[in-house]
Structures are given as structure tokens and as C-alpha cells.
Structure 1
């Protein structure tokens, strides 16, 4: 009787372990940088480049200029999977000078080109665009932004691109300063192509708890990272990101992590940065 029980239990345990191992896929790590750095990054195990919208997708430039960049990307050892620095500061998202129609036209060009280039994520930080003008109603600004987000999400869906809203710390912007605030806005926009970004640097700057990641984890589709001091590259001051990584693990996060930091010596810091992140992710 004991022998039969042993024979039945072992395969079940083995199967459970196999499933658990198959779910432990490594999180792709990239850098917010110029596409030209792709070869250096590839040598140390980075998976992708996060470029800038204005630099790589060039929405205000003729199609011919984008074709040149598209050709460069096709010959790059690493793909461009995300783009940041989305809406220029002169195109206001909120306030009396908001220009939603111009923003949506700009966004459509960016999203169309993103699809052609294989870019999956567009980061909506753009503090200059979304800062609330002095004296303007915060409630009205919030309503303006949600309306814009809903319209923008429909265009993003057409081109199979996901917008991720990036909360910025209070020294950089006066609107959407936490994962919690951003999460509530994303919930109201309520569209699968408009999701949330967690930037660990901004969270640390404003002392936002990792619990915000747990609470809004199902909305988080992208992550940025830098150390709090000097917005330094991970591994510079040995800052501990493990509480935030553990929060991401609790949510079953399956997105990417981009280093968005101030580099002092790119060539010597890139191996340290990726090793620091991988070590802390696995501890």
C-alpha cells in the first residue's frame, strides 16, 4: 500500500516542479540609450534598446528620414522595443492651452512608425506636456488627461502599440506623481493599450512604498530603474531594489526593465548594471 502511494505521488511532485520552472522566465533588461550602443549592450546580455520618440520615430520629420533610421535598426544587433520622451513640452496635454488634436496627430505618426520598427511600448512621461498650469483646476486637468488618454489608446490599438503612463516625482512634474495616482487614472481610461509604468527611481524619490506595485501590479506593463542618489546607474552606490523586485514578483510581472539613469562611463558601467539587477532580482 505504501509502495503504491509512493509511485503516484512522485510524478505529481515532479510535474508541479516542472511547471514552476517553466514559469521562471528571465525579465528582459534594456537601456534607455541611442540605438548605436546596441552592440556593446549585446555583449553583456542586454535584450533590447529603449530609444526616444523624437530621436528614433521622428514624428515631425519626413518619411524619408525615418526610413534611414529604420534601416539602421534593421541592422542593429539589438531590437528597439520601447521609446520614451513622447510628447514635446510645447504640445500641452492639460490647461487652457491644451492641443489634443495636434497631440493625437503627432501620436498617430509615432505609433504607425513604432509598429513598422517593432516597437511595442511608448512611455508617456512628458512632464512638460502634462504639468498643470498655475491656477488651473486640478480636477479639470485630470478630466482633460483622461479624455486624451482614451482617444490616444484607440489609436495605439490600431497600430498594436501599448502606451505606458509614467508617474514622475514631484521635483519634475506637478501631476501624476505616484504609481497609485497613475494607476487610478489608467483604471479610468480603461483600455488595454493604455497601461502603467513603475519607475523605481521616481518611487524612491517620493518615498512611495513597493506596496503600490502590488496594488496596481496588473496594470504595470513596463519598469524603469535608477538609483535614488544622483539618478545613478544600478551598482553605483549599491542601492537595494529587492523590496520593489519582490513586489513585482508577487504580481507575476512579465514585462521589461529599462535602465534610465545618468551614466558616468557607459562602457565600464554596463556590465556592472546588468549584473546588479540580475543578482537582486534573484535574491
Structure 2
């Protein structure tokens, strides 16, 4: 039986704001939202703790351009909630509480990213105390978020950018320890390609706890030009009935700030024109997601080949 586009899940397809601009003051916010809307995206992920973040402008302009918003956060050395230093943990908790409040104000239903540790390489493995510190603070943040109708997404990140959550299994364990229903798994194809034994199996393992998905290539460039089996991931997402956002994320130091370039090691650019790569990404995701949903009645085995 044929499948029409009207029978398929209409997941929000989004793009990270830093794909289009390097900061989030009113001028850059408007540029990013206007371009994203014109290209055809329905959601923009905004860097809610950008030093120049303009809350009111973001809310007004998202409404003007008819866009949904999501919020992402990355903690630093001085705001690492897994830290053994109480003053550092307190600063990190305040950052997350502020992010939740801003998300609520601008109409975003989720705050995601590396919100459980610093975003950066550690020189040691995480301890039980590090994990406990993160869990206790995230439980309080999740309680605040729940009262505002906001979810928290724990982004599974590679070993070079955190020592706490490197696999979907790690995220699920932390979610169980936090014990709040509004905490979900945030998977990212780029990171999964580094640390998951089997990205397809990882997607299956999350099932209903999967709430956010980043689409990125192995080299953070044009989709379909790296070594990630994105088609298999899309099919797995369709198989488990994933209904959350599908968000393209790719960075270039031609656009992002020096701080982001350093934090994410963007030493080798894959593109110079953010609008061009964004157009390509939207077409790629729409095509692959449509194909994945049409074929979701066909069982997908682990390690499937495109």
C-alpha cells in the first residue's frame, strides 16, 4: 500500500542558530530567524546562554517569522555542576535555572545540551561523587522546569567533550537517577558516530525517552558527505515512532565566535556559506525522513547498510 505525505509524522525540522550567525544579540537573532524561516525550517535552536542573548527580541521575532524555538546550553569549567567545588556547582545551577526561565519566556518547551558537566575534555574519569553532584542539581532544575512546562534534554556527547554521558545507556542511567518525567535523552549523530558501538541499537534503546535529535556529519560539514550512516539512523527513528525535533547542527569558524571555535575545536572548515549549507541540509533531511517513514514497516537490523 502506498504512503502519502499526509500519513507521515510531521516532526519539526530545525537548525542550530550558530549555523547562521555568530552571536545572539537582536540584530543577529533577526538575521538567523528570518533566514531559517525563508529557507523553510520550522524550528531554530537558540544559544540561550550566549552573552548577548536578547530574550525579548527572540520571543518577538520567533512569533514574527512563525518559528518554534528550542534552547541549548553548554556548561564551562566555572559552571560545571559535577564539580567537587561547591561555588562552581552553585554557579552552574544558576545558569541552568536562568536557561529554564528564558526558555519558558520565549516559548521553548526544552532546554538541552551538555547540561550535566562542562563541555570540554577532562583529564580523568568521572567519579560517583561527580555523578551524584550532577544528578542532585539536575533534579532541582527539572522540578523548576516541570513547573514551567519545560523539559530537559541530556545530550549524549563524545569522550573528548565530557566524562559523564558518552552513550545512550549513560543518559538513561542518569535519567533514572534523576527520577523526573520531564528529563529526556538528546542524541546527536556526530557524537554517536564516535562513542556508540551501534547507533541504531542506541536509538532503539531509548524508545519513548528520546526527546531530541541532532543531525550532523562526521566532519560537521554537508550532510551525506561524511562517513555516518544517517539513513540507518533516520530509519531507526521512524521505527521507534520518534516524534520530536530533527535539528541540523554544523559549525564553521567563518561564522561562530572564537569562543565556540575553541570549545568545539573547529579548526578545519567544511563550509563558508551558512545559508547554502542550511538549504542543503533541509532538503536532505526532508528527503531521508520521508523515505524512512515510508519504509518503517520493514524491520531494520543493527549494523544495516545504506
Higher relative contact order (CA 8 A, sep 6+): 2
Where does 1:227-246 land on structure 2 (aligned, <5 Å)?
A: 227-228=217-218, 230-237=219-226, 239-246=228-235
Counterpart secondary structure, 2:118: helix
Q: Is it true that 1:214 corresponds to 2:204 in the alignment?
A: yes
Q: Which runs of 5+ in 2 are unaligned?
A: 22-28, 253-270, 292-306
State the distance in 2 between where 1:22 and 1:72 align: 29
Quick check: 2:119–2:161 contact (8 Å CA) kept in 1? no
Quick check: 1:149–1:194 contact (8 Å CA) kept in 2? no
Q: Is it true that 1:152 corresponds to 2:141 in the alignment?
A: yes
Which residue pairs with 1:226 in the alignment?
A: 216
Which residue pairs with 1:24 in the alignment?
A: 8
Quick check: 1:86–1:122 contact (8 Å CA) kept in 2? no
Structure ranking higher in helix proportion: 1
Counterpart secondary structure, 2:185: strand
Of the candidates 226, 244, 251, which is equivalent to residue 262 of structure 1? 251
Cα 1:137–1:270 shift into 2, 3 Å: closer
CA deviation after TM superposition for structure 1 residue 233, in Å: 3.1
User: CA RMSD of the aligned region, Å?
Assistant: 2.9
State the distance in 1 between where 2:290 and 2:7 align: 14
Where does 1:149-228 land on structure 2 (aligned, <5 Å)?
A: 149-209=138-198, 210-228=200-218
CA deviation after TM superposition for structure 1 residue 248, in Å: 1.3
State the distance in 2 between where 1:251 and 1:110 align: 30
State the distance in 2 between where 1:181 and 1:281 align: 27
CA deviation after TM superposition for structure 1 residue 161, in Å: 0.8
Counterpart secondary structure, 1:125: strand
Which residue pairs with 1:38 in the alignment?
A: 33
Quick check: 1:127–1:168 contact (8 Å CA) kept in 2? no
Quick check: 2:11–2:246 contact (8 Å CA) kept in 1? yes
CA deviation after TM superposition for structure 1 residue 197, in Å: 0.4
Which sits farther off after the overlay, 27-36 or 97-106? 97-106
Counterpart secondary structure, 2:81: coil
Where does 1:44-55 land on structure 2 (aligned, <5 Å)?
A: 44-55=39-50
State the distance in 2 between where 1:73 and 1:108 align: 22
Q: Is it true that 1:90 corresponds to 2:85 in the alignment?
A: no
- After superposition, what is the alpha-carbon deviation per residue over 1:192-221, rounded to whole angstroms, capped at 9, x for unaligned? 221110111100122441101101121110
State the distance in 1 between where 2:245 and 2:106 align: 18
Q: Is it true that 1:272 corresponds to 2:280 in the alignment?
A: yes
Q: Which runs of 5+ in 1 are unaligned?
A: 1-12, 59-64
- After superposition, what is the alpha-carbon deviation per residue over 1:228-249, rounded to whole angstroms, capped at 9, x for unaligned? 1x22231444853121112212
Cα 1:49–1:114 shift into 2, 3 Å: same
Cα 1:208–1:73 shift into 2, 3 Å: same
